[in-house]
Structure 1
């Protein structure tokens, strides 16, 4: 046996970057930040305060007062400013001090960090850029066509905190075809990735496994097929359009949001939400209940991923086979958000396409499902 064949592959893993990705990050639904009170968000390695002013505008500032370090998340909304609970210094949404009740004048340099915000489709976004540049037009988040449309349900939304791991683990999923069978219980029969500019996309057609639970329609028919088109717009916000075809020939179109923001280098907040196009035969309440049922199924899938992330190790040099997809190319695309704009290279943003041949995987997986069904039938027969 040659020395080369005896060589043991070692796992390489650098410390996760302390720098946070440049881009729009969704902090959650606007409805979760009610007016009249400050809200605390831990993101980008610091504490932020979110508050709405009398004109309905939502603002995000650094969470600590620049006077003597008071906690603005414990402060009070006064007019169009947030007042520090320590000495009542007032801070406007643009970061400028708007007043000090006991002082003759406001120091001209009295300013704190303000974060550019975007309210769109019921969600609150903040722009993060370590260089302090405003968002370019090409980084815009697309509008959700079905949002605020009476033919679609409202958001069903979930939030969970992931500790002890970096958010790159979540990004890797966009190229990971095989885990959809082993973790999420479906056959990916078509799988393709396209990366270009700040967008990374995944196109997939799938069939549900007969040996695991699957989402159901309003009349309880199991889904048999689905088509999915998912795109990350920047480093942390994915829009996923999914159409389910059920065994009774009914269809349901959904939009799934998959987004996150970093707390620090080794933890992040994962958020995901779903809305569905209302079937004609359902009233509004029934349609929202259907969306909730489908959301709970999606939630199971995300929880399966979370269990994997919490126990796996970080690996910068994964050992891959042909069917594993373009992991290294995806990470090269992702790197553009962690370097200065001047250091973004052409290979990070140039168009890249890769389609996986799913023939061999599906042959193996169908045999596995048949074996599982046979074993299950035998065990049921013995119990009878």
Structure 2
């Protein structure tokens, strides 16, 4: 029974899980780590060190040297090894100490953790599992073939740190109403499907009529207005989402891939990566296509920061009070829970197929009335 006191709903908020999700996590664009330097990346309550060997292969190892605790990410890449900045011990991508410059013998237990990695879609991934399992082939990140044909722009990539638990981000998969009130986009169709390690959101919609002016962007000397939106956003595992976007802009179809992925720093903060690749329009030159891609990237960045503004002041809530038109928040959270338990403890209702289409007919009637009233009030000002 829900917690109540004198018929008032009492918010329940337990501590976030004191473990990190099992699965692939994207660290960023792969080529950004191929500059001949070591890179620090704080994640999973620790520090990682990322470097490329002489062949360009990327490696991720524990970020602190077990000799005297220095940050290996402050070290120097020497050939295929990463040299500690404190005493020069050299560590290979397999985690083994390869050389100590002032000694003739390497201690047999001189080893740091080497993290399983993968490159896909021009991005670097690391596998995390508190049980120490190797990556499961069944949960491989899918390849976006169009990114390698020249049809799309290169990734426009941005990274920000968000100071809240990453479940707040995941909730958006099922939260249909927030698109209207936070992002100014009215959903006319909304469907969720959860199965195994995949969670999908399919949405069709349009901008709010009373926010068209605010949503217009200046481009090429004229106003650009998005007339229709179609999105299929799919999480593959706990932390990597591919969103296939299609929009009608001034009567012109624009297609894009949006990547929304995150890595937990600790239990109360995460690193958010947002990447956008836009399909080139054949009748435009490279400069104009680049401008369209930048316009889309800015719009999506602004959208994410609208969520961040809410997260900064909201509280954690484990027993949200829902109405009949809210999306399947509880079912989504049950799906998400599979990544925070041992594999042996994954229950059928975490991974069995669940599918629901939210009936938005009445909501759209009510939104029509709200938008008309808002427009009339704006006109009277």
Q: Which residue of 1 aligns with 2:172?
A: 173
Q: Which residue of 1 aligns with 2:186?
A: 187
8 Å CA contact retained: 1:237, 1:257 = yes
* 1:322 paired to 2:324: yes
State the alpha-carbon separation in 1 of the partners of residues 254 and 76 from structure 2. Answer: 45
List aligned pairs for 1:1-384, cutoff 5 A.
Answer: 6-163=6-163, 165-212=164-211, 213-214=214-215, 220-247=223-250, 249-379=251-381
- Work out the CA distance in 2 between the residues paired with 1:222 and 1:355: 28
CA offset at residue 288 of structure 1? 1.4
- C-alpha change, 1:364 and 1:114, in structure 2 (3 Å) is same
Q: 2:8 aligns to what SS in structure 1?
A: coil
Question: Counterpart of 1:382?
Answer: none
With normalisation by structure 1, the TM-score equals 0.95
State the distance in 2 between where 1:185 and 1:146 align: 30
Check 1:71–1:221 CA distance in 2 against 1; reply closer, same or farther (3 A cut).
closer
Deviation at 1:31, TM superposition (A): 3.0
Say which SS state the counterpart of residue 55 (structure 1) adopts.
coil
Secondary structure of residue in 2 paired with 1:211:
helix
Q: Could you tell me which runs of 5 or more consecutive residues in structure 2 were left unpaired when the two chains were aligned.
A: none
What whole-Å deviation, never above 9, does each CA across 1:126-170 have from its counterpart, x for those lacking one? 00011111111111001113213222111111111111x100000
- Structure 2 distance, partners of 1:112, 1:181, is 48
The 2-side partners of 1:35 and 1:139 are apart by 30
* CA–CA separation in structure 2 for the residues paired with 1:214 and 1:276: 19
Whether the aligned pair in 2 keeps the contact of 1:154 and 1:288 (CA below 8 Å) is no
**Secondary structure class of the residue paired with 1:307:** helix
Show CA shifts across 1:158-191 (max 9, x none): 111111x100000000000000000011110000
Contact 1:215–1:297 at 8 Å: present in 2 too? Answer: no
Name the CA shift for 1:5/1:117 in 2 (closer, same or farther; >3 Å): closer
Q: Give SS of 2:147's match.
A: coil
TM-score for the superposition, normalised by structure 2: 0.95
Question: C-alpha displacement at 1:372, in angstroms?
Answer: 1.4
Farther-moved stretch of structure 1 (127-136 vs 210-219): 210-219
- Residues 112 and 80 (structure 1 numbering): CA distance in 2 closer, same or farther, change over 3 Å? same
1:5: how far off? 10
What is the rounded CA distance, in whole Å, between the counterparts of 2:198 and 2:236 in structure 1? 5
Q: CA deviation at 1:241?
A: 0.3
* Cα separation, 1, equivalents of 2:332 and 2:87: 49
Take 1:114 and 1:200, find their aligned partners in 2: how far apart are those partners? 29
Work out the CA distance in 2 between the residues paired with 1:353 and 1:233: 16
Question: Alignment partner of 1:115: what SS?
Answer: coil
For structure 1, which runs of at least 5 residues remain unmatched after alignment?
380-384
What secondary structure does 2:254 align onto?
strand
* Contact 2:34 2:56 (8 Å CA) reproduced: no
Give the superposition deviation at 1:32: 2.4
Report the count of equivalent residues: 374
Structure 1 residues 5 and 109, CA, compared in 2 at 3 Å: closer, same or farther?
Answer: closer
The CA deviation at 1:215 is 5.9
Q: C-alpha distance in 1, partners of 2:42/2:157?
A: 19
Q: Distance in 2 between matches of 1:118 and 1:161?
A: 23
